[in-house]
Amino acid sequence: MSDLHASPPVSGERTYGIGELAAEFGLTLRTIRHYEDEGLLVPARDGQARVYTHRDRARLALICRGKRLGFSLAEVKEFLNLYDVDDAQAEQMRYLQKAARQRIAALERQLQDVQQTLAELRAIDAEIDDHLNRRSRHEATSREDSNR
Amino acid sequence: MSDLHASPPVSGERTYGIGELAAEFGLTLRTIRHYEDEGLLVPARDGQARVYTHRDRARLALICRGKRLGFSLAEVKEFLNLYDVDDAQAEQMRYLQKAARQRIAALERQLQDVQQTLAELRAIDAEIDDHLNRRSRHEATSREDSNR
DNA sequence: ACCGTCAATGACGTTTACGTAAAGGTAAGA
DNA sequence: TCTTACCTTTACGTAAACGTCATTGACGGT
| Surface of A (82-111) touching B: CB under 8 A | 82-83, 85, 90, 93-94, 96-97, 100-101, 103-104, 107-111
B102 to each of A111, B98, B114, how far by Cα in Å? Answer: 19, 6, 18
What's B51's domain CATH number? Answer: 1.10.1660.10
Domain assignment present for residue B17? The answer is yes
Tell me: do B60 and B112 sit in the same domain: no
Question: Are B19 and B56 within one domain?
Answer: yes
Q: Tell me the C-alpha distance between A7 and A45, whole Å.
A: 9
State how far the Cα of A140 lies from the Cα of A138, in Å rounded to an integer.
5
Residue A106 lies in a domain: yes
- Please tell me the total count of domains within chain B: 2
Sequence-distant (≥ 6) Cβ neighbours of residue A45 within 8 angstroms? A51
pLDDT of residue B147: 43
Residues 6+ apart with CB under 8 A from B132: A90, A93, A94, A97
Q: Are A33 and A18 in contact (CB under 8 A)?
A: yes
Q: Please say which residue of A22, A42, A71 terminates a domain.
A: A71
Residues A54 and A110 occupy one common structural domain: no
pLDDT in tens, A33-53: 999 999 999 999 999 999 999
A64-81, pLDDT tens digit by residue?
A: 999 999 999 999 999 998
Instruction: Mean pLDDT check: name the lowest of A1-5, B85-89, B131-135.
Output: A1-5
| Same domain as B97, residue B69 | no
Q: In the prediction, which pLDDT does B141 show?
A: 61
Pair (B11, B73) in one structural domain:
yes
By residue range, what is the domain housing residue B48?
Answer: 6-87
For the ranges A134-143, B56-65, B112-121, B124-133, the lowest mean pLDDT is seen at: A134-143
Domain assignment present for residue B1? The answer is no
Query: What are the E-state strand segments in A1-148?
Result: 44-46, 49-51
Residues A20 and A59 placed together within one structural domain of the fold: yes
Same domain, A148 and A96: yes
> pLDDT tens digits, residue range B5-53?
344 444 567 999 999 999 999 999 999 999 999 999 999 999 999 999 9
Mean residue pLDDT across chain B? 87
The answer on A64 and A18 residing in a single domain is yes
| Mutation site for A-interface testing, chosen from B94, B95, B125 by largest number of A Cβ within 10 Å | B125
Do you know the residue count of chain B?
Answer: 148
- Domain match, A4 and A67 both: yes
Q: Is residue A53 part of a domain?
A: yes
Q: Which whole number is the average pLDDT over A93-118? A: 95
Q: Are B93 and A132 a contacting pair, CB within 8 Å?
A: yes
Check pLDDT > 60 for residue B77: yes
Same domain, A11 and A59: yes
Q: Let me know whether B59 and B103 are in one domain.
A: no
Band of pLDDT at residue A143, cut at 50, 70 and 90: low
Final residue in a domain of this structure, among B70, B87, B104:
B87
Confidence of residue A82 (pLDDT cuts 50, 70, 90): very high
Are A68 and B65 an interchain contact pair (Cβ–Cβ within 8 Å)? no
pLDDT given at position B103: 94
Residue A83 has pLDDT above 50, yes or no: yes
Helix residue ranges per DSSP H, chain B: 18-25, 29-37, 54-68, 73-81, 90-142
